[in-house]
Amino acid sequence: MRRALKIDEKSYGPDHPKVAIRLNNLALLLQATKRLDEAEPLMRRGLLIYLSFTRNTGHIHPHLQTVLGNYFGLLQAMAIAETDLKARLLSLGPEADFTDEEFQALLARIFKN
């Protein structure tokens, strides 16, 4: 899977949604094998790619909600305290160049369903 990730990064560029799919899948594999500390930065990077796509296009990427849920589940599996978990999730907004208000609105749109 790491090889496929490198190929996609070279083919599409490091911030392409296809790369985010590979990152998420590799992170899920690492999570399943209890390598949580290795999985977290990969899943976070994939999530940031989808957030950037959403910010740049104005359309919520179809995989964003799923990957956000995966990331939340990973943080829970890592036994991250609830306050730290929320802080990590909220820190994604500024990392993807959202204002706090924009990110809160996006989260509300994603989870209204």
The predicted-structure confidence for 74-91, as pLDDT tens digits, reads as follows 999 999 998 999 899 999
Q: What is the CATH number of the domain that holds 103?
A: 1.25.40.10
Domain interval for residue 61: 2-110
% of the chain residues with pLDDT over 90: 85
Q: Does the pLDDT of residue 113 top 70, yes or no?
A: no
Number of domains in the chain: 1
Is pTM beyond 0.85 here? yes
Q: What value does the CA radius of gyration of the chain take, rounded to a whole number of Å? A: 14
DSSP string covering the chain, please?
-HHHHHHHHHHH-TT-HHHHHHHHHHHHHHHHTT-HHHHHHHHHHHHHHHHHHHHHHSS--TTHHHHHHHHHHHHHHTT--HHHHHHHHHHHHHHTT--HHHHHHHHHHHTT-
